[in-house]
Amino acid sequence: MHDAMHTVAGDDSTDTTMESAPSEGERPWTSLPASVKRVWLLRSAIRDCSGVLGCGIVALISHLAGWWTSWHGPVLMVAAVMLTADLATQPLRIRYAYAFNRYSIGSHDVMLHKGWLLRTTTTIPYNRIQHVTTKQGPLLRSFSLTAVELHTAVDEHEIAALDDDCATSIVNQISMRVLTSKDDV
């Protein structure tokens, strides 16, 4: 089966592939679609704003119910400040996470590369993959993105987001290679 390199165009219609052609012994790495950065930022904003709102609700309930003690204020303030700082630093962290989050579909395995500070590269041979699933929550769906999960006997690995058509194509490609590798065993 031919190894097709899936290149995803970003919002500015430029190629987001890390390498255009593999040199001897190297494989092409493909970046995620650029719109995943907005999804990650929205997830973080929802999580952090919910946390700040929760701190406010706990403060209000504690005050109205007479549970307020001298430690409530500082603890809730520290939590709210930490959540706000997390939200404020998200654009920078997302920028670097996006730059280092990529995948490669090879003839014998799938490789996932993640992390910008603590980097990990995971190689998943096709003969170890039990099944492939897709998932799409409301945020991914609103940006026409789909996450692809590769399940092995011990763990599951995820390509965080792909364009819907690309995800379908990659799931079919991986499924065919898994089926072929199982027949070879």
pLDDT digits (tens, 9 = 90+) for 36-87: 999 999 999 999 999 999 999 999 998 898 888 888 889 999 999 999 999 9
How far from 38 is each of 24, 82, 95, 169, CA to CA, in Å? 35, 22, 10, 23
Proportion of the chain above pLDDT 70, given as a percent? 85
pLDDT at residue 151, as a whole number: 96
Q: Which residues contact 19 (CB under 8 A, 6 or more apart)?
A: 26, 28, 29
pTM: 0.77
> Per-residue confidence at 128, pLDDT binned at 50, 70, 90?
very high
- Token pair of 169, please? 């194509």
> Per-residue confidence at 19, pLDDT binned at 50, 70, 90?
very low
Q: What's at 75, amino acid-wise?
A: V
pLDDT at residue 144, as a whole number: 97
User: By three-state DSSP, how is residue 114 classified?
Assistant: strand
pLDDT at residue 65, as a whole number: 85
pLDDT digits (tens, 9 = 90+) for 142-152: 999 999 999 99
> Per-residue confidence at 25, pLDDT binned at 50, 70, 90?
low
